A and B are shown apart, each in its own frame.
Chain A
Amino acid sequence: MEQKKHSDKRKDQIDEQYLLDYLRGSLSPGEQHELELMSEQNSLLEDALDGLSTFDKPEHLQDISQQLNQQLRNHIRASRGHRRRRKKNLQLPAWIYVLAVILLLLLSCWVLYIAL
């Protein structure tokens, strides 16, 4: 049942867990062949399998993947915080906008007065 679930996902994308299952040798021969055939037509998958096959323990790969993902999340979180701070620094106090509107109104009145 679990493997059927992986097969369904794989139609849309190359699932990480499915790859790990392949490397562990826990897929059925048919599923292994399907992934290998897919790799024949997908250079990214082909190269990735070549590189990942050099590891004896797929669990280690899972650790590496989690570590890289955590670094990515940290970077995204930090850059979002930085952007939010910059945005906050760019925000002006409300009274500036009120003053600007009053000045514009006064300027319009003065232009009208001169014109008439």
Chain B
Amino acid sequence: MPDSFEHIPDSELLERYRADGDTSWLGILLERYTLLLFGVCMKYLKHEEQSKDAVQQVFLKALSEFPKYPIGNVGGWLYQVTRNLCFTMLKNRRYHEGDELIGNVVKDESVPLADLVRKEKEIDRLHEALGNLKEDQRRCVTAFYLEKKSYAEIAAITGYSIKQVKSHIQNGKRNLRLKLEERTSTGDAG
């Protein structure tokens, strides 16, 4: 992608396309997401060639849909289309391990933990909730959110693999969210 276009926001590229009908603007816009979309496809399809095909299909859909409808959040739109396509491809593939893979497609859409943590004024309650987590989850969540360590650093400190670190953070933040929400609702009721 030429450097000269990098400063232009997605919304402005769409506006330029609508103004002069030149599909090159859409091309510049879509190229920003190539690697991200390929990564999403690889996560679900776990197959390089099928992932490449899927990205191409998403691009073709975007080129045909962008001119028709106003798109507010280009990344969000592309992500939804890509996930839906992967979901369909997985179903068509009649994947025997499909239950697990398709299960991955359904994501937790609740409030991000970072927001919840930011809003959480009573630090004592957070620490108390952290203390109730399993040891491995507590170590990883504390290192990531409070000590601002990267996955690699946490892996080096704890001896876990990066995959285990991510898994502990995912499980830990889910449990932490539940505990915080539980305490908030108990507090509200009281």
Chain A residues proximal to chain B, CB less than 8 Å: 9, 12-16, 19-20, 25, 29-30, 32-33, 36-37, 40-45, 47-55, 61, 64-65, 67-69, 71-73, 75-76, 79-80
Given contacts A72-B27, A76-B26, contact A51 B151 (CB under 8 A): no
The residue on A at minimum CB distance from B109 is A43
Q: Does B23 contact A (CB under 8 A)?
A: yes
26 A-B pairs with C-beta separation under 8 A: A12-B7, A12-B9, A13-B9, A13-B10, A15-B6, A29-B153, A32-B150, A36-B150, A40-B112, A40-B114, A40-B173, A41-B114, A42-B75, A43-B107, A44-B76, A44-B79, A48-B35, A48-B40, A48-B43, A50-B39, A51-B41, A54-B46, A68-B55, A68-B59, A72-B56, A75-B63
Given contacts A9-B6, A12-B7, A29-B149, contact A68 B36 (CB under 8 A): no
Apart from A36-B151, A47-B44, A64-B52: 20 A-B pairs, beta carbons within 8 A:
A13-B9, A14-B32, A29-B152, A32-B150, A33-B144, A43-B79, A44-B36, A44-B76, A47-B40, A48-B40, A51-B41, A51-B42, A52-B42, A54-B43, A61-B38, A65-B34, A68-B52, A68-B55, A72-B30, A75-B60
